[in-house]
């Protein structure tokens, strides 16, 4: 078997086409969406991500403003700035870029973002809504993963899934979304890896999602025949971007697989745009 490649760019373009209509409607009614990003210090990784965000927003006609702070900025200064953005009616979406310097408590700041302006879906209110299965502004990557799985058209009810990685923004919310679809879901993490049982879990996954950040962690031969494989990982190896799954072997066993790049990434950006538009709608008085 050679897997069908899930084309993240095509899926993202379809989502963006629908969003364009909504943006025009918001503008006509005098409620244009605008996204404000906060960045602390210089990080080459986030620079690329910010550049992509700006380009996507500008292409869609969404105003994008980047607010840069020096590494030496205090927690209070950023907190005050978030409050300023919360109270500014011209700002409809806020995004706090990671990583932040060691002395800054990211979670405390995420808690300060007005949940109605939380474009990344990381505030406690929006994260809490994930438990109920229908967040208005959900975590972008987890929502992108569900869109990619949905695109296969495979019936999910009763299937077995394995989520490798239990981060707050990817692994945990994805596992909750899957449970909501009546998928029996196992979540693996570093302790699974250390115990040596990761292959046993992966081998039984009809739906496998990997979000770790270690190139080739998942061996192709572990993939169950006919599985859906969603590779979230982004790793730079010898100047090339690769995922966490040994792609060439895995694609011979899977039924559907996402490429890296061109899989989860573009759909995550589309979800950020969708959240930005939903956020603007929430603020219409
Ligand atoms: P993260 O917060 O670093 O989480 C990584 C997870 O992997 C943790 O839960 C960690 O467990 C687990 N882990 C580490 N080594 C393991 C092993 N040997 N076996 C099993 N689990 C292991 O990262 P993240 O934010 O979720 O991102 C994960 C990857 O996805 C990164 O490469 C990131 O760049 C990529 N990503 C891509 C997109 C996109 O749009 N394409 C979006 C977000 C993230 P412990 O916490 O217990 O150590």
Residues lining ligand 1, CB < 6 A?
141, 164-167, 169-171, 188-190, 192-193, 198, 211-214, 217, 232-234, 264-265, 268
Please indicate, yes or no, whether residues 161 and 199 belong to a single structural domain of this protein: yes
Structure tokens at 163: 């989520």
Domain that holds residue 67: 30-116
Please indicate, yes or no, whether residues 111 and 146 belong to a single structural domain of this protein: no
In-domain check, residue 6: no
Q: Residue 73: pLDDT above 90? A: yes
Sign of CA dihedral 99, 101, 105, 111: negative
Cβ–Cβ < 8 Å for 40, 100: yes
CATH number at residue 84: 3.40.50.10860
Percent of the chain with pLDDT over 90: 95
In-domain check, residue 77: yes
First to last CA, the chain: 54
Burial zone of 86 (CB within 10 Å; 0-12 exposed, 13-18 middle, 19+ buried): middle
Domain count, the chain: 2
Q: Residue 44: pLDDT above 90? A: no
CA 238 to CA 100: how far, in whole Å? 27
Please indicate, yes or no, whether residues 86 and 194 belong to a single structural domain of this protein: no
In-domain check, residue 284: no
pLDDT grade for 20, boundaries at 50, 70 and 90? very high
Q: What is the pLDDT of residues 227-241, one digit of tens each?
A: 999 999 999 999 999
Please indicate, yes or no, whether residues 171 and 103 belong to a single structural domain of this protein: no
Residue 92's pLDDT is what?
97
Residue 59's pLDDT is what?
96
pLDDT (mean) for 167-183: 97
Q: How far is the CA of 166 from the centre of ligand 1 (A)?
A: 7
Measure Cα distances from 72 to 8, 114, 178 in Å: 38, 25, 41
pLDDT (mean) for 33-53: 90
In-domain check, residue 19: no
Q: Which residue out of 167, 169, 174, 209 has the highest number of ligand 1 atoms within 8 Å of its CB and is therefore the one to mutate?
A: 167
Residue 98's pLDDT is what?
93
Cβ–Cβ < 8 Å for 160, 179: no
Q: How far is the CA of 176 from the centre of ligand 1 (A)?
A: 17
Please indicate, yes or no, whether residues 104 and 194 belong to a single structural domain of this protein: no
Q: What is the pLDDT of residues 108-149, one digit of tens each?
A: 999 999 999 999 999 999 999 999 988 999 999 999 999 999
Q: What is the pLDDT of residues 26-42, one digit of tens each?
A: 999 999 999 999 999 98
Q: Residue 193: pLDDT above 80? A: yes
Please indicate, yes or no, whether residues 96 and 169 belong to a single structural domain of this protein: no
Q: What is the DSSP letter of 117?
A: G
Q: Which residue out of 11, 187, 189 has the highest number of ligand 1 atoms within 8 Å of its CB and is therefore the one to mutate?
A: 189
Residue 48's pLDDT is what?
82
């Amino acid at each position: 078997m050679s897997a069908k490649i899930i084309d993240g760019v095509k899926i993202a373009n379809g989502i963006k086409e629908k969003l364009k209509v909504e943006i025009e409607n918001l503008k006509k009614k005098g409620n244009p969406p605008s996204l404000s990003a906060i960045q602390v210090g210089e990080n080459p990784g986030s620079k690329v991500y910010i550049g992509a965000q700006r380009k996507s927003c500008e292409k869609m006609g969404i105003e994008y403003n980047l607010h840069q702070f020096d590494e030496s900025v205090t927690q209070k200064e950023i907190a005050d700035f978030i409050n300023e953005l919360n109270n500014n009616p011209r700002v409809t979406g806020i995004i706090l870029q990671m990583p932040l310097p060691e002395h800054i408590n990211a979670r405390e700041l995420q808690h300060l973002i007005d949940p109605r302006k939380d474009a990344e879906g990381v505030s406690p209110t929006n994260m809490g809504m994930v438990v109920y299965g229908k967040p208005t502004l959900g975590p972008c990557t987890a929502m992108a993963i569900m869109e990619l799985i949905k695109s296969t058209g495979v019936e999910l009810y009763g299937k077995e899934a394995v989520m490798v990685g239990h981060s707050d923004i990817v692994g945990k919310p994805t596992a909750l979304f899957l449970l909501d679809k009546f998928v029996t879901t196992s979540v693996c993490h570093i302790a699974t890896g250390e115990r040596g049982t990761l292959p046993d879990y992966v081998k039984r996954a009809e739906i496998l999602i990997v979000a770790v950040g270690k190139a080739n962690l998942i061996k192709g031969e572990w993939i169950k025949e006919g599985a859906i494989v969603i590779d979230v990982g982004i790793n730079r190896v010898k100047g090339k971007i690769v995922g966490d799954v040994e792609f060439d072997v895995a694609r011979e066993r899977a039924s559907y697989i996402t490429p890296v790049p061109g899989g989860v990434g573009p759909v995550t950006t589309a979800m950020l745009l969708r959240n930005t538009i939903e956020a603007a709608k929430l603020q219409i008085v």
